[in-house]
Structure 1
Amino acid sequence: MVVTTYFSFVKLSNLKNWANAAPQVPCYFIFGDSLSDSGNNNNLKTLANVNYRPYGIDFPKGPTGRFSNVELLGFEEYMPPFAKSEKKNILQGVNYASGASGILDETGSLMILRNDSSTEKLLRQCIYSIQIGSNDFVNNYFKPNFYNSSHGYSLSEFATMLVRQFAHQIKDLYKTGARIFALIGLGQLGCTPNAIATHGTNDSLCVTKLNDAAFLFNQRLIPLVMALNSKLTDAKFSYLNYSPMKVAHNRKQYAFWDGVHPTDASNVLIAKNLYGTRSFSDARPFNIQSLARKSSDDLI
């Protein structure tokens, strides 16, 4: 799997239980791009790092390397980035997300979690959230001057190839002991300020070809989730729809606060929805709250 610009994993890793109760799962591991990166890129030689203002402008700890903000699962602290994780806290969860990462090696490079038999039982009860794939389109397929992807694949073929590769990576994580997976689909890639400024919209509100790419990816990810649930019966997989975007008149209501990253207001809406939604179109077959309950099932 790979690491390279968006993945604060819908901030579900950062979510706290409204009632401040005990954690609903013993541990939470995050994989993805800058939508979930919480500081793994800080010391890397990359343009995809944000440990400086205005990032962190309204985050209690200031600029930490997070690309965007938010806070339901009952953890007292945010999952530490892999780059700063230590033995004492690694078993509660780690954030492996890295800004600009993708599914393909050429898009980025991802760290795979390893474990031994002494931690296997614990790791089977953790939630593993994965939200990745946008960079493979935005910073790969749709940049034909730098990558050959669009020359060798139609958009549909590329989406199929990505999900097939993603499936291998998910199964590799399963082999390490992971059993509860929250797989987040792609949002409307063509509606970001950066996409609109880069590609233009031809009188539409968003960039159609980018939204088509996200749709094709998600339409292939959904049946993969169903197939994994059918074949790997000792595990639970769920597809989560990452989509509610809005635009308003101040920073607490805008959908985006830079060219590609959602604001705190957007992340709160998305996180609350994915945590407790009962809509089959937004979570199938489980929402995050249900996945947390599955961690104590006899099957897991």
Structure 2
Amino acid sequence: MEYRFTAGGKNRRVNSNPQLAPAFYVFGDSLLDSGNNNLLPTLARANFKPYGVDFPGGATGRFTNGRTVADFLAEFLGLPLSPPYLSFRRLETSTGLNYASSTCGILPETGTSAGKCLNLDEQIDLFEKTVREDLPKLFKNTEGLLEYLSKSIFLIATGSNDYSGNYLQPNSYSSRLYSPLSFAQLLTQSLSQKLECVEEINNLVSLFNDQLATVLSKLTSTLPGSAFILGHDYGLTYDAIRNPSTYGLTDTSDPCCTTWLNGTSACIPEIAPCANPNEHFFWDGFHPTEAVYSVIASQCFNGDSVCIPTNLKMLTQI
């Protein structure tokens, strides 16, 4: 694979993999953000060193040392990396866009303490604007656009901030109003409605994931022409932490970069990270290293346990 970079940090990639889908659209939070927060009034940004030390072109706004799961999956699909939506004045490509925004979540009130972010409703609104106003300029007729959309791949990674930045916060209104089970139900019901339009925290997220699998199965049967798969990576990441040597890791507790708040927050700017990031599970206090993202993406694309009921490669063949 060859990366070619142009002014402004935008990149075009010549990918040797066969193209398996016409486009790859990305929605979510800091696990997938590729630079949208750079252009928002927020403290939640990763457009400075040591973020991006292993990414061609340096820091882009990705909250890791290199590529994210979305970047690896784009490569596996034979597509360019999906650029951040907010960096484009006009759409010039039909291979996909990234709408993900750090600190945001499913609920509109999540993630606002650090500044402005794009919650999932806003991300979907922007995608609908893309479909309504921008994509028709790249297609000769409506039939071609509909065929393109029906074969495109959409990745959504969201929900963790609704816990860490909302439900589990001190004096959280949500935690007073909802039990853990009812809050998980609220998130899955809200996410289901949005999809129709287009340890403590680990235990809570497990509730969310268990219910989400049922919701996605139902949506697959009730939305003609749609197919949903669930990326259930908790088992893999838990195994990597318990058995690091299996994954080439030596440190599964300490962040690679020097962070604020004694290893529990974002990287401190301009301080050199550890010399061996690919042997660390955590890049900063929250986000994995590129090495971990690579394993998750590879297993989702080719494996049979992370993404269910089918992997992404088989999904492109449906």
Residue 168 of structure 2 is matched in structure 1 by: 142
Percent identity between the aligned chains?
36
What is the aligned length? 240
Partner of residue 107 from structure 1, selected from 98, 106, 110: 110
Equivalent residue runs for 1:89-238 within 5 Å:
89=93, 91-108=94-111, 109=119, 110-112=122-124, 113-114=127-128, 115-116=131-132, 117=142, 119-145=145-171, 147-173=172-198, 208-238=199-229
**More helix as a share of residues:** 2
Q: Please, which runs of 5 or more residues in structure 2 have no aligned partner?
A: 1-10, 112-118, 133-141, 245-249, 252-275
Residue 63 of structure 1 is matched in structure 2 by: 59
Equivalent residue runs for 1:242-281 within 5 Å:
242-243=233-234, 244-245=236-237, 246=240, 247=244, 248-249=250-251, 250-279=276-305
Q: Please, which runs of 5 or more residues in structure 1 have no aligned partner?
A: 1-13, 174-207, 295-300
Q: How far off is 1:230 after superposition?
A: 1.6
Q: How far off is 1:148 after superposition?
A: 0.4
Asked if 2 retains the 8 angstrom alpha-carbon contact of 1:41 and 1:99, the reply is: yes
Structure 1 distance, partners of 2:27, 2:53, is 24
Structure 2 distance, partners of 1:293, 1:261, is 32
Structure 1 distance, partners of 2:31, 2:231, is 15
SS at match of 1:137: helix
Structure 1 distance, partners of 2:307, 2:45, is 31
Asked if 2 retains the 8 angstrom alpha-carbon contact of 1:144 and 1:151, the reply is: no
> Are 2:288 and 1:291 aligned?
no
Residue 193 of structure 1 is matched in structure 2 by: none
Q: How far off is 1:119 after superposition?
A: 2.4
Task: In structure 1, give the amino acid aligned to 2:227.
Answer: K
Q: How far off is 1:290 after superposition?
A: 1.1
Residue 20 of structure 1 is matched in structure 2 by: 16
Residue 34 of structure 2 is matched in structure 1 by: 38
Structure 1 ranges of 4+ moved more than 3 A: none
Q: Deviations over 1:118-160 (max 9, x none)?
A: 6222111100111100000000000033x30000001111001
**TM-score of the two chains, using structure 2 as the length reference:** 0.72
Residue 203 of structure 1 is matched in structure 2 by: none
CA RMSD of aligned residues (A): 1.9
Task: In structure 2, give the amino acid aligned to 1:64.
Answer: T
Asked if 1 retains the 8 angstrom alpha-carbon contact of 2:302 and 2:313, the reply is: yes
Structure 1 distance, partners of 2:92, 2:47, is 24
